[in-house]
Amino acid sequence: MTDPAEPPDSGDRPETETPPAVTMRERVKTALDAADGALLAELLEALPLSAALRQLLALSAEDRDRLLALVPTDLAAALVEEAPHAAATELVERLDSDRAAEILDVLDSDVQADLIGDLDSDDADAILAEMEPEDAADVRRLVEYDDETAGGLMVAEAFAFPDSATVGDVLRMVVEGDADFERYRGQHPYVTDAENRPIGVVSLRALLTAHKNTKLTTIMVTPMTVPVDAPLDSLEDIFDAETFLGLPVVEADGRLAGVVSRDAVRDAALERAESDSLKRQQVGDELRSMPLWLRSRRRLAWLSANIVLNVIAASVISAYEQTLTAVIAIAVFLPMVSDMSGCSGNQAVGVTMRELSLGVVQPKDAIRVWFKEVSVGAINGIALGVLIALVAWAWKGNPWLGLVIGSALALNTVLAVSIGGVVPLLLKRLGQDPAAASGPLLTTITDMAGFFLVLSLATLMMPYLV
């Protein structure tokens, strides 16, 4: 008989398994399948915005559409704004026009214009038709400006007051917390005349120390303005030299068009640098959330072209087949010469691209850039040539082989830095994208030249190599 005080023997009972933890992705998918917008919002708002975006992009395209339709508009807008531009454009493009308009209405006008500008014209017109006429007009105006100009980077919403306004008018808007006041962050009050031309700007110190009945025109100072076509490089220079958080942007006739912020200029410069880096790597704006066949097609466009370029390089080797057969050790050093020269050339490309982005060189400076690169290339080429010559001599026991390999590397390094320094400038002059095209040209030419130099020098020195 079992003692009731003792726990029952559970030896013959099956052990209960601990249920596996439910991942966030599974919880999001469950809420999505249940069409529970409140639960989706609760789950995503508990995450950092970047983590919430990862949950969104991990879904299928159809599920992403459903999620953005279910969650609150503010959250949907935050996710769209957080997404890389290509992904954000795709998210908006797939939505119904009325829902897309609701989401865009929450975003600043510069973000609206960036997204609308990259949409198919029919999709863009459908969304603009759903927006408030005044907002749609601002977006249509901003879309016309180049992305890397003051007009393309500005927001249309300016914290502006007529020249009849007083300090009290400004403070009243701040205290009442106007619904659109958040869009003016980082802006000082601008004063405009009857033609909407900026005639003054008021500092916060002057605003807080003046009587509320004081007219803004009595405490304002003359503002610095920039034209709508001011390039990104010029804007960077201005913000580097000044402490402004923002600058009023004016049309050709002097009318206020919007305000460009320090943050917008900084972000645009970073985006351009990142884009240039990706283009040099032949990646572009690809994201793994994009359709499979689109990603494959984009990559194949570059890879297919490189097949042709490599065939040309291989033909150089084929022309010296007898030399390679006689001195097989040369084959070991061919990739070393082309690779080390290519690295030197890529350094030169990087410096030129940086100087182009900073505006310190222009295509007309190609000769000056070439002289500077040849100087560096000669020093580095000789140093690298001596090093690899010693390696070849020690490895194969033939000083003449070291002389051939070292001389080829030194000469090819000078050629590589010349190409890397000058070709981006020439491509810029021709209206081509230097970031996208410089890399393939450099790689192919340095490969062909490296192979030619090694094999031709080896042919001349054949009596000493065999």
Go through the domains of the chain in sequence order and give each one's CATH number: 24-144 (1.25.60.10), 160-280 (3.10.580.10), 292-465 (1.10.357.20)
Residue 288 has pLDDT above 60, yes or no: no
HSE on the CB side for 253, CA within 13 Å? Answer: 3
- pLDDT-derived band at 263 (thresholds 50, 70, 90) equals confident
Alpha carbon distance 438, 79 (integer Å): 35
> Could you give the residue ranges of the DSSP H alpha helices within 36-149?
37-45, 49-57, 61-70, 73-82, 85-94, 97-106, 109-117, 121-130, 133-143
> In this predicted model, what pLDDT tens digit does every residue of 33-77 receive, in sequence order?
999 999 999 999 999 998 899 899 888 889 999 999 999 999 999
Alpha carbon distance 85, 139 (integer Å): 17
Residue 302 has pLDDT above 60, yes or no: no
Taking residues 22-41, what's their average pLDDT?
90
Residue 252 has pLDDT above 60, yes or no: yes
Alpha carbon distance 248, 260 (integer Å): 6
Q: Lowest-pLDDT range, 31-35, 89-93, 138-142, 196-200?
A: 138-142
- Average pLDDT in the chain: 82
β-strand pairing of 226-227 with 246-250: parallel
Residue 216 has pLDDT above 80, yes or no: yes
- pLDDT-derived band at 191 (thresholds 50, 70, 90) equals very high
- The predicted structure's pLDDT at residue 448: 84
- The predicted structure's pLDDT at residue 444: 78
**Any idea how long the chain is?**
466
- The predicted structure's pLDDT at residue 427: 80
User: With pLDDT > 70 as the criterion, what percentage of the chain qualifies?
Assistant: 82
- The predicted structure's pLDDT at residue 10: 47
Taking residues 270-287, what's their average pLDDT?
58
- The predicted structure's pLDDT at residue 27: 92
Q: What is the CA radius of gyration of the chain?
A: 32
- pLDDT-derived band at 437 (thresholds 50, 70, 90) equals low
443 versus 70: which is more confidently predicted?
70
294 versus 131: which is more confidently predicted?
131
Residue 182 has pLDDT above 70, yes or no: no
- pLDDT-derived band at 2 (thresholds 50, 70, 90) equals very low
Instruction: State which of 148-157, 278-287, 438-447 shows the largest mean pLDDT.
Output: 148-157
What's the distance, CA 315 to chain centroid? Answer: 37
Q: Of 316, 308, 297, which Cα lies nearest the Cα of 449?
A: 316
285 versus 160: which is more confidently predicted?
160
Beta-carbon count within 10 A of 421 CB: 27
Q: Lowest-pLDDT range, 54-63, 211-220, 275-284?
A: 275-284
- In sign, the C-alpha dihedral spanning 410, 414, 415, 416 is positive
For 204, 247, 261, the CA distances from 186, given in Å and listed in that order, are: 11, 10, 7
Residue 418 has pLDDT above 50, yes or no: yes
Taking residues 322-339, what's their average pLDDT?
80
Residue 433 has pLDDT above 90, yes or no: no
Residue 294 has pLDDT above 50, yes or no: yes
Query: Sheet harboring 198-201: ordered strands across?
Result: 160-162, 190-192, 198-201
β-strand pairing of 190-192 with 160-162: parallel
Taking residues 4-32, what's their average pLDDT?
64
- The predicted structure's pLDDT at residue 7: 47
- The torsion defined by the Cα of 249, 251, 255 and 260, in degrees rounded to 10, comes to -10
Instruction: State which of 259-273, 328-342, 400-414 shows the largest mean pLDDT.
Output: 400-414
Taking residues 444-448, what's their average pLDDT?
83
HSE on the CB side for 225, CA within 13 Å? Answer: 27
DSSP assignment letter at 215: B
Residue 273 has pLDDT above 90, yes or no: no
313 versus 367: which is more confidently predicted?
367
Amino acid at position 287, single letter: L
- The predicted structure's pLDDT at residue 5: 46
- The predicted structure's pLDDT at residue 35: 92
Phi, psi of 221 (to 5 degrees): -125, 160
- The predicted structure's pLDDT at residue 143: 84
Instruction: State which of 32-46, 137-151, 170-184, 318-332 shows the largest mean pLDDT.
Output: 32-46
